[in-house]
Amino acid sequence: MRSVRVVAALAVVFGAAVLAAAAIDTETIERPWPKEHTREYEVGRDTVRWRQKVDKRQGLFAGMRFTVPRERQAVWKLSNDYSGVGHITPGVEAVRYIKEGPNRQIIEVDMKVLWKLFTLRFEMEQEPPKAVRFRWADERFGEYLGVAVFEEVAGTGKDAAPATRVDLSTRFLPVHPVPMHLLLGVERIAMLTAAKKFLKACER
């Protein structure tokens, strides 16, 4: 899904961002994470596989995987629609395109937490309909990196239509020590909530 929907709640903790201009490299988080912990959650009528890893040197890793009972092109189109971001992520006030190319965008997200309003800037790279990569970076705080991969899989049942597996992987690498386990809890809630709402949207 559109990755900003599930990471904005965590990124807002660190304030306004300064965008890094280099290409987005997600190879380190697309590979298996040694010593990761996994768990399955029942999200509505669906099962979401959650995985996580906390490492003082490598950062905070978090990801989830679930299957959508729709063909990949439809899931890709829905996941790249910004009109519903505010309904998916609590606190989102507005989303703006700052720069837009064929497969590369820079967007700003206004987030309201209690009485404070923050503006976050994300860099996005698309590989339709296979993957979308994103990054939020600030030299004062660190880097938040993510990738969502969309893979066609066989549906279940005798006459089942094709389905799509969504695999989201993220990593936060802070510059200074931060409460990793607290941030992990924030991200887990945000990601599972987003997955539930996205799965419902796909049923319509």
Homologous superfamily in CATH for domain 4-203:
START domain (3.30.530.20)
Of 18-22, 80-84, 150-154, give the range with the top mean pLDDT: 150-154
Residue 11 has pLDDT above 70, yes or no: no
177-187: average pLDDT: 89
Asked whether the predicted pLDDT for residue 99 surpasses 90, the reply is no
- Dihedral over Cα of 25, 27, 30, 35: its sign: negative
Predicted TM-score of the model (pTM): 0.80
Quote the percentage of the chain above a pLDDT of 70: 80
pLDDT-based confidence at residue 86 (cuts at 50, 70, 90): very low
Separation of alpha carbons 83 and 12, rounded Å: 20
Rounded distance between C-alpha atoms, residue 54 and residue 62, angstroms: 9
**Domain range annotation of the chain:** 4-203
